[in-house]
Amino acid sequence: RIKPQYKAVELGVEAIETPKLRVIKELQRTNEQFPLVELPIRKRRIPVAMGHIYWDPRRRSLKYDVIEPVLSKQEKEILEEIKKMLKEKVDIPFDRIRNKNKAFAYLTKKVNEIIKLIKVKLSPTQKLKIYYYIYRDFVGLGPIEPLMNDVNIEDISCDGVNIPVFVYHRNPLYGQIETNIVFRSREELDNFVLRLAQKAGKALSVSQPLLDAALPDGSRIQATYGTDIARHGSNFTIRKFTTKPITPIHIMYFGTADAKILAYLWLAIENGSSILVAGTTATGKTTMLNVLSMFIPPNSKIISIEDTAELRLPHVNWIPEVARPGFGKSAQGEVSMFDLLKAAMRQRPDYLIVGEIRGKEAYVMFQGIATGHPAMGTLHADNFAALVNRLTSPPIELAKAMLENLDIVVFLTRVKRAGKTIRRIREIIEIVAYDYKTDNIITNTSYVWDAKNDRFIAQKSVMLDKLAKSMGYNIEELRHDLMNRANFLNWMATHKIVEFDQVAYNIQSFYTNPYFYMKRGVA
């Protein structure tokens, strides 16, 4: 045993309860249990796998346990025999069955046939266990399938062999949590990563060890295969696809933005402003882009271009397009975002949405903005100087003068505050003009986040002045319009109108008949 070099010193003062200590006390009281997997049995849904989040006093942190049915030695043997026979009997690939209930019904039918064939007697409980593990391993994603069913998980990641799988929880108090799922051997983890690639319809091998793809449910998968480039062995991160899109009201509840900021952005979008959402990794750029897209006028023709399909819009007149990688070493048949954007420009869209700007497609997008096609997109950049540098450096290489066609940049941040991980709009910058003499972009900050008091401060807006002149309003009339929209958003928040379909319906109704809400004192 190593002796400590220094002895603890008694300070002689009472401990002061800081916000961080209060959060730790709250975490220590955490003890949540909830169903993760429910199977449809005789018109009922029976929970068979549970989740348990609790404070682990030994590790002094939260733990996430997946609780699955326990199998006896005999049940394990029967399960393996059924699996072996099932592989021979199954005549369709499950990836083609989008409806999991249909896949489960097909599997149970086949399992029951095998049980009769091998002449084993199983109780209803034993059958349920067998059904679960067959479903988990044939239709689902094996040991992490229960985690894929937790709507409160954002990311699932495994760093290597004998390292616990971690999840990133949506609860700002929780953040990263260690689970009880561990891949115990290199072979098990390698096979699992290969299976992920197969589910995504991609090839993965020692010669091509990197995977960036989408799973059938839309979740993003990033994986590395083998030990050649990953010292701990194969690894993966799955960014889960939310079944219910985040709405403007959600981000008001989260504190990411307030009603006044959203009303300001709504007015800008309605009047054809082009907007970039910028920030570092995991700040919620794509989520914010989807939220802002909900403010596009209902009948507008929208074309979205993405690397991986993530956006979900309520608009009927929407063409979602996704880039496609080529086949084989020559990448024959590749359809890039650049190709899609060029084609989109010929379809006369009212709005262009680019999931993430990375390369030469930015040139087409900015040319489109210059010719009167409003556009929105996301970009990795922490501040305005970094954003200009990214857009004007390889591989994008835009002329700096082209940036004056952009109207607004929304910068997002993700920080720890009093032990909680929070996301906020850090600032909103308006592009005023390009100074040809100094080669500088002239900007104006219209909103800024006061981190100390966790509130948003409105500053003078050049864009509102421009809009007032172009619309024939005086600035007070425009501010009244902004207040109407903010009141309308606050009304939805107060009445818990949160879900995607409800919010979309009300925003579209506001467009077609704003007086309906005004008469009722909503706006």
**DSSP characters over 422-478:** EEEEEEEEEEEEEETTTTEEEEEEEEEEETTTTEEEE---HHHHHHHHHHT--HHHH
- What is residue 2's predicted lDDT score, i.e. its pLDDT? 44
How many distinct structural domains can be found in the chain?
A: 2
Residue 268 has what pLDDT?
97
pLDDT in tens, 256-298: 999 999 999 999 999 999 999 999 998 999 999 999 999 999 9
Token duo for residue 465: 């002045």
- 135 and 255 in a single domain? The answer is no
Kindly report the three-state secondary structure assignment for every residue of 93-115. CHHHCCCHHHHHHHHHHHHHHHH
Confidence grade of residue 328 (pLDDT, cut at 50, 70, 90): low
pLDDT tens track for 241-264:
887 899 999 999 999 999 999 999
What band does 517 get if pLDDT is binned at 50, 70 and 90?
confident
One domain, residues 134 and 267: no
How confident is the model at residue 92, as a pLDDT?
Answer: 61
In a domain, 194, yes or no: no
Q: In this structure, are 369 and 490 located in the same domain? A: yes
Q: Where does a domain end: 122, 140, 158?
A: 140
User: CATH no. for residue 412?
Assistant: 3.40.50.300
pLDDT at 11: 42
- Residue at token pair 């399992």: 111
Instruction: Extract the tokens encoding 22.
Output: 């209060």
Q: List the one residue out of 315, 285, 283 whose CA is nearest residue 302.
A: 315
Confirm whether 231 is domain-assigned: no
252 within some domain? yes
Question: Is residue 259 included in any domain, yes or no?
Answer: yes
Question: Does residue 366 lie in a domain region?
Answer: yes
Angle ∠(479,471,440) on CA atoms, nearest 5: 85
In a domain, 110, yes or no: yes
Q: Do 336 and 466 fall within a single domain?
A: yes
Residues 299, 441, single domain; the answer is yes
Residue 34 forms part of a structural domain: no
**What are the percentages of helix, strand and coil residues in the chain, rounded to 5?**
35, 25, 40
pLDDT at residue 520 in the model: 64
Is 12 within the bounds of a domain? no
Last residue of a domain, one of 117, 140, 163: 140
- pLDDT tens by residue, 70-108: 999 999 999 999 999 988 876 666 665 667 778 888 888
Where residue 35 falls among pLDDT bands split at 50, 70, 90?
very high
User: Nearest-CA neighbor of 38 among 140, 113, 114?
Assistant: 140
Q: Final residue of a domain: which of 113, 140, 167?
A: 140
- Nearest-angstrom CA–CA distance, 255 and 20: 19
Domain hosting residue 126, numbered range:
73-140
Residue 10 has pLDDT above 60, yes or no: no
472-500 average pLDDT score: 93
